[in-house]
Amino acid sequence: MIKVVKFGGSSLANAEQFTKVGNIIRGDESRRYVVPSAPGKRFSDDIKVTDMLYRCYELAEEGQAFTKQLNQIKDRYNEIIRGLKLDFSLTEDFETIKKQFLAKAGSMYAASRGEYLNGKIMAKYLGYEFVDAANVIRFDKEGNFDAETTQKLLSQKLEASERAVIPGFYGAMANGTVVTFSRGGSDVTGSLVARAVNANLYENWTDVSGFLVADPRIVKDPEIIHTITYTELRELSYMGASVLHEEAIFPVRQAGIPINIRNTNAPEEDGTMIVESTCRIPVYTITGIAGKKGFVAVNIEKDMMNSEVGFGRKVLGAFEDNGISFEHMPSGIDTMTIFVHQDEFEEKEQKVIADINRATHPDSIELESDLALIAVVGRGMKSTRGTAGRLFSALAHAHINVKMIDQGSSELNIIIGVRNDDFEDAINAIYDIFVVARL
Ligand code: ASP
């Protein structure tokens, strides 16, 4: 059994957190490959080391003094080293970093040092081999991630290493130039390592006990999702739910490796399992609820629209020509509605309307703004009668007007459109009927 374990920044913010992580890793022999983030926040208005590095490098780039800021970063690491009572020093590494900053090595290089240094401490603390991600995570000359070469380099290297620490978030081009993934990218590294070593499980340790059924900023103390499929996760993440970096899913999904989201501060909890498919029946009919505000509905009407071949294509062409992607497209016989992101659409609205008018000569085009979309997602809905009935009666009881309904034939989700003002109440009403009332 091989497990790859990735720890987020708050799990490694100080020596106390490192100790918890050490206990978790030592508590299970199969936790052989470790992917650390940079030290995160120790308290709510603390600054993540990654952000300190970006700031410090900005000063270097502007030709200003940055020694004080670099020393503050050094202090964060020294505090961890001291707290763990390690006989270890990063003085030489900081000398190199200083030189590289003066030589303007780039902000990606700067940011990557957060993970690099934390990885060195972690390897020392665990007695594991340190594998610099710059040698095994490969980007091409344009800075795009090179999946094939990475898989080759990583699997070769780790095959020869029984236990290793591979810092997250960065890699390098063949010439050694460091490149980072987008923010939160250590999740991606963990996933790549899991695929390379053919892991049985990718454990992603963070500071929450898993995916929640709804956003805790909207619903009070929402339940944790025990098992979720990749498809459900994709639907919920797309609609705004976030725990994992989006690109972290693909490598492990391709290889059929499940992900387990766990809480470093509550290791006794099972967390959330993310799997390709499962016969585990969800506890509630729905798996999760997510949503986003800020949409516009573009309603187009034209008599006999239904018999005009190519009408839909021409309308969508007007959006495409203006570089606007659409979210949903519910339609009637002589009407068609396109949902788009308000911030993307606003500045181009007159141009799009003119293009639709020119291409289709409709009877009317009306715009309705400040709408929200809510996705109610769950594999359990497929075999359950009355899900839609319960959903809409709950919304009616909460005096919420539903502007749009869209259910794909996969029956995996129901998307509803409501006014922005009704967004929070609608999510609470849906949560209450399916989770609190357990229907
Ligand atoms: N340290 C990086 C960030 O703050 C990457 C990560 O934590 O995954 O975005």
Best mutation site among 169, 246, 247 for ligand 1 pocket (most ligand atoms within 8 Å of CB): 169
The Cα 91–Cα 237 span in angstroms is 41
Distant-in-sequence, close-in-space partners of 143: CB < 8 Å, separation ≥ 6: 173, 179
Best mutation site among 108, 183, 187 for ligand 1 pocket (most ligand atoms within 8 Å of CB): 183
Q: What's the farthest any 2 CA atoms get from each other in the chain? A: 80
Nearest residue (by CA) to ligand 1, atom 6, is 184
* Sign, CA torsion 133/134/139/142: positive
Low-confidence ranges of the chain (pLDDT < 70): 439
| Token pair recorded at residue 432 | 């209450």
| Ligand 1 atom nearest 51 alpha carbon | 4
The Cα 424–Cα 215 span in angstroms is 10
Ligand 1 pocket at CB < 6 A: 9, 37-38, 48, 50, 114, 168-169, 183-187
Q: What are phi and psi of 231, to 5 degrees?
A: -65, -45
Half-sphere exposure of 156 (CA within 13 A, CB side): 9
User: Residue 10's pLDDT is what?
Assistant: 96
Distances (CA, A) of 85 to 34, 77, 88, 107, 162: 21, 12, 9, 32, 25
Gap from CA of 159 to ligand 1 centroid (Å): 26
User: Residue 439's pLDDT is what?
Assistant: 56
The Cα 376–Cα 427 span in angstroms is 9
Q: Provide the phi-psi class of 106: left if phi over 0, else alpha when psi is between -120 and 50, else beta.
A: left
20-43 pLDDT per residue, tens: 999 999 999 999 999 999 999 999
Residues 418/401, Cβ–Cβ less than 8 Å: yes
Residues 130/164, Cβ–Cβ less than 8 Å: yes
How crowded is residue 237: how many other Cβ atoms within 10 Å of its Cβ?
18
* Sign, CA torsion 399/400/402/403: positive
66-79 pLDDT per residue, tens: 999 999 999 999 99
Q: What are phi and psi of 348, to 5 degrees?
A: -110, 10
This prediction has a pTM of 0.88
Best mutation site among 108, 186, 244 for ligand 1 pocket (most ligand atoms within 8 Å of CB): 186
